[in-house]
Structure 1
């Protein structure tokens, strides 16, 4: 395996005997967590390797089995092609097509130009001989061949806040929380290890108690939003920033920059 153009700090790995794990990109796992995850690799629990914060490509090997996992956002797509000599994979479809000059797939190219989406036609890529691993799937290469395997569930079990509260409290932190109350209802808010408060898409606020500290924080956020003139999300450019030691739980913060100012000349 080789990489091109990635800084050294964005390519990290751990290994022990027949087990190996590598992450490429912005991965919130530290080196110790990567080493500990080798037991997960041994168990072939591929989905557990995608739960660290960040956006990254995961490559895991357990004996003769190799799993290549892109991120759900599609920032690290995975392409592959099978040959008589084995399986080639890459994050670049063009690189695989260049192996023998594979031509464009006209249908996929037309769909891509019309809809500007990479996954319109399932596993087909822009090149006829190259396949794309669909979002939520991984590429699994074994002695029997290569195929794509779904690791992300198609549907999520609906939860209401009373049922989810124990888990929110156990995993909560003093940062923004997003709770899935129903498959079609997401509620942003605030949580701590002991409290939780969210505001539903219909404007209803749900909290663990009327005197909840999380409810106080949430109301303060809403007051700031009101005083700022209720700005829409698209006016704040998003930034992904690593949380340093002493700033709370290790991981990443999604930060929104202030709205750009506009000036008018004479």
Structure 2
């Protein structure tokens, strides 16, 4: 990876784990939705990392952290815990951060911006609907107000037609994903709704009753390589 531009490795759509090296530096990047979390622990012999906190705890039988376990059961929001995991001595890489391992040690580095440029959210809504992501949601908040967005069994975030974002929590992973979708819309030059024409697609894939799906065609897009 040239110039350690780690953020360039996160612009492809979908949920994935990225591992990259630049010189003596190694970066481990999880996804914004938290489907591929990254955990790590530092030892005298080096740094261990994994997508499983239990696997790292098993190295020496590290016990549960009672305070973190109680917060996890009460809130069910991983980002509320920051860098703490369910096990003592095992750290979690927060959403929007990456694990950077260098000869001097390991730490977490933010790659997702904290603040985003103002967007015309009503114009951006068709872009979100065109993502075709399995966690894409269309919520009817009122009979005359529809809101596309992202949801999982535990989190949700949507954009209303009036441009207001509604989320289950300010640190919601779904909100982070929704903001990433909006950032992609910004990077694509803020295409107008006409760029995503509607179409009917026959559904015969066995995933539900045979019928028709209404879809929005996505505009061609590219993502620069490292």
Q: TM-score, normalised to structure 2's length?
A: 0.58
Whether the aligned pair in 1 keeps the contact of 2:203 and 2:212 (CA below 8 Å) is yes
Alignment partners' CA distance in 2, 1:77 and 1:121: 13
| Greater Cα shift, 65-74 or 223-232 | 223-232
Please state how far the C-alpha of 1:160 moved relative to its aligned partner. Answer: 3.7
Please state how far the C-alpha of 1:58 moved relative to its aligned partner. Answer: 0.1
Change (3 A) 1:67 1:223: closer
Whether the aligned pair in 1 keeps the contact of 2:126 and 2:196 (CA below 8 Å) is no
Alignment partners' CA distance in 2, 1:151 and 1:262: 20
Whether the aligned pair in 2 keeps the contact of 1:195 and 1:212 (CA below 8 Å) is yes
Structure ID, larger Rg: 1
Which digits, 9 at most, give the CA deviation of each residue in 1:68-112, with x for residues without a partner?
A: 000000000000000000000000000000000001000000001
Higher RCO structure (Cα 8 Å, ≥6 apart): 2
Whether the aligned pair in 1 keeps the contact of 2:130 and 2:215 (CA below 8 Å) is no
Change (3 A) 1:240 1:47: farther
Alignment partners' CA distance in 2, 1:118 and 1:194: 11
Which digits, 9 at most, give the CA deviation of each residue in 1:121-167, with x for residues without a partner?
A: 21000001100000000000001110000000111010348999999
Matched, 1:177 2:130: no
Change (3 A) 1:93 1:180: same
Please state how far the C-alpha of 1:119 moved relative to its aligned partner. Answer: 2.4
Alignment partners' CA distance in 1, 2:107 and 2:115: 22
Whether the aligned pair in 1 keeps the contact of 2:33 and 2:176 (CA below 8 Å) is no
Matches within 5 A, 1:1-266: 41-160=1-120, 201-202=161-162
Alignment partners' CA distance in 1, 2:47 and 2:81: 22
SS in 2 for 1:120: helix
> CA RMSD for the aligned pairs?
16.3
Please state how far the C-alpha of 1:62 moved relative to its aligned partner. Answer: 1.4
| Greater Cα shift, 126-135 or 165-174 | 165-174
| Greater Cα shift, 50-59 or 204-213 | 204-213
Whether the aligned pair in 1 keeps the contact of 2:122 and 2:160 (CA below 8 Å) is no
Any gaps of 5 or more consecutive residues in structure 2? none
Alignment partners' CA distance in 2, 1:183 and 1:124: 42
Any gaps of 5 or more consecutive residues in structure 1? 1-40
